[in-house]
Structures are given as C-alpha cells and as structure tokens.
Amino acid sequence: MRTRKVKWIVIWAVLIVGGAGLVAWDLASFPEYFYERSSRVPFNHEKHAEALGLDCSKCHVGAEAGIRATMPSKADCMDCHNLPLTESEGIERLDKALLNAPDAPFVFTSLLPSNVVFPHGLHVKSGVSCETCHGSAKEIDAGRRPQVRMQDCLACHQGKLGFPKASTDCARCHR
C-alpha cells in the first residue's frame, strides 16, 4: 500500500518537472515561436490590398530606395488603427496585440549570408516589380520567401529573365 503511494508521487513528480522543463526548453529555443503564439500582432496583406489599394512603400519605406525594404513600426499601424474602424473580432484582437507589442513588432531576419550585398531599392528602381520576386499579396501572406540562391541572382543578372542585364562581377555581390 505504502510503496504504491510513493510510486505515484514519483510518477507525478517526474511528469511535473518534465513538463516544466519542456516549457523552459521551448521558450529558450524558439522565442519567436512563443511570441507568435501568445501576442503576435496579426497582419494580412490581402485584407489591406482591398482597403488601401496597397501602396507597399507606405509600410516598407526602404523598398524603393533603401538597402533594405524595412518593416513597419507599431506607430505605422496606429496611423489608421487609432481611428474607430469597423468593430469586428479581428480588430479587437489587433487592438489587444498592439497594446502589448514593442515599438517594432515585426522583424525580418535576412535570408542572405552577411558577406553578400543585395541593394533592395536599386532593383525596384531598375523596373523589376515587387511581384516578380515576392509573388502576390496572397502568396506573401502564405509565407512565400524570395529566392536568394546565387544561381537565381545570376540568372536575372545575365539577362535570362527579360530584365536589363546587371553585373556578374563577384565583387559586386560579395564583400
């Protein structure tokens, strides 16, 4: 009788400590994932496309001239979302998330190695559309990322995709 009770206590102790360990491991290994689940600020390009006619540079201010396209700040969202927009479940969830969000809630981690240069704005200025490299708003929302393998860059720079030819000199792209 006694040993059975002890056995259960041990089993529970193992489960509780193990569970706490898993949570701690999760937090330590995947902070973005945890952030995503708990307080991520929701955003959807497709919904804004209809509402705004979607001027990409309003939110990605570096896209047409900068080295990086950049991400919008919380203040950029508040420009419109401080107004009383239609009350909906989506807007309620947004207000709650914005309240707790840091000033720069959206972070884009470069897909390129640090020794490769990709001057973002130069590409837009030379007449390549956002959609050529990023796909449609719907595809971006679904998580599509641009191609960043050297052979993809070179194919376009060699003129194979119908855009103006650009440098294939190693030192232009590699620091």
CA-to-CA dists, residue 139 to 33, 46, 51, 107, 142, angstroms:
21, 9, 18, 19, 5
Residue with Cβ nearer ligand HEC (34 or 122): 122
Cα separation of 69 and 108, whole Å?
A: 10
Residue with Cβ nearer ligand HEC (9 or 51): 51
Q: In angstroms, give the least distance from the CB of 33 to ligand HEC.
A: 13
Could you give the angle at which helices 31-39 and 2-29 cross, rounded to 10 degrees?
90
Q: In angstroms, give the least distance from the CB of 143 to ligand HEC.
A: 7
Residue with Cβ nearer ligand HEC (20 or 117): 117
Q: In angstroms, give the least distance from the CB of 133 to ligand HEC.
A: 3
Count how many Cα atoms sit within 13 Å of the Cα of residue 98 in the half-sphere of its side chain. Answer: 18
